[in-house]
Amino acid sequence: MAIDTKYGRVTLENGTIGEDEPVFVLRGQDALAPEVLAEYRRLCVVAGSPSKHLDGIDAATSAVVEWQQNNRTQVPQSAG
């Protein structure tokens, strides 16, 4: 389990994240998500992340873009 400051506890099928470890969730409906993922990928390349990690970012980006083509997006809203 992990903690997102907006959504609370996040459960995961794969991987181990500490119970109190902060995470950041990007939702498919977030209109800015593809740009954020592209910038994160760029930073990972500069930092020397392995291709397996970059492939995961590419897959997530493709999934978000595809989802957004068929669903409503919006600019992120505040937690309050």
3-state secondary structure of 2: strand
Confidence (pTM): 0.83
Q: How far is CA 76 from the centre of its chain?
A: 13
Which parts of the chain sit beneath pLDDT 70? 1, 78-80
* CB within 8 Å of 12: residues ≥ 6 apart: 1, 2
pLDDT at res. 40: 98
pLDDT at res. 54: 98
pLDDT at res. 36: 97
Convert the pLDDT of each residue in 19-32 to its tens digit: 888 988 899 999 99
Q: Quickly list DSSP for 5-41.
A: TTTEEE--SSS---TT-B-----TTBTTHHHHHHHHH
